Amino acid sequence: MLTVYVYAPDTLADWEIGYVTAELNSRRFFQKDAPEVSVKTAGIAKEPVKTMGGLTILPDCVIDDIAVSDTSVLLLPGGNTWEDPKHDPVIKKAAELLSVGGAVCAICGATAALARAGLLDHRPHTSNGAGFLDMFCPNYKGQRYYVDKPSVSDGNLITAGGTGALLWTKQVLEHLGVFRPDTLEAWYAYFSTGEAQHFFALMQTLPES
């Protein structure tokens, strides 16, 4: 069983997690023998959180409940509050997960929080463009590992800029192994181009019910 924890900071950027949460919860394109996946929202407290889009999320669990295991995946969405020290506990949890082989997938402002903690100093990563991490993280030392792409996957660490949600989702799904490779490629082609031919290709990759 894989457990995906979606951290819910206040002002969470709704659109950045839309693709990945929809696919993991619906399982609509999962391969026949896909691993079981449990998706949980995690927060500082079990109190309502307001997203940037005005939606309300009631976290399923708190940060301390996130299991430090190689079967845990932590998704860190963007938001406007990542400079607040109140998020330090979840970044500490991220470091623990990385150390045991769990996965950490951060996008937009969450990458800056990882950078401030030194977690990007020695691993390939990306963020909101060259110079973003230098601007918001005075102690950032990972410049030589910065990759100027929408999303970068480096084993159990996946990072993306705020406009890279689709590719980030593709890389998260690939890491989890829930889609067949041809399904994943057709899925990405369809959602990145909108061309009907990729939709039909996607349908043809799905297992018969």
Mean pLDDT to the nearest integer, 26-52: 97
Question: Which residue ranges make up each domain of the chain?
Answer: 2-178, 180-209
Q: Which CATH number fits domain 2-178: 2.60.40.60, 3.40.50.880, 2.160.10.10, 3.30.70.980?
A: 3.40.50.880
Whether pLDDT at 106 is above 70: yes
The predicted model scores a pTM of 0.96
pLDDT in tens, 153-205: 999 999 999 999 999 999 999 999 999 999 999 999 999 999 999 999 999 99
* Rounded Cα gap, residues 155 and 161, in angstroms: 18
- Tally of residues, the chain: 209
Q: In what order do the strands lie in the sheet with 151-154?
A: 61-62, 37-43, 2-7, 72-76, 103-107, 157-160, 151-154
Active-site residue numbers?
A: 108
Provide the pLDDT for residue 209: 63
Q: Name the burial class of residue 19, with classes exposed (0-12), middle (13-18) and buried (19+) by CB atoms within 10 angstroms of its CB.
A: buried
Question: Where residue 207 falls among pLDDT bands split at 50, 70, 90?
Answer: confident
- Give me the residues paired with residue 74 across strands: 5, 104
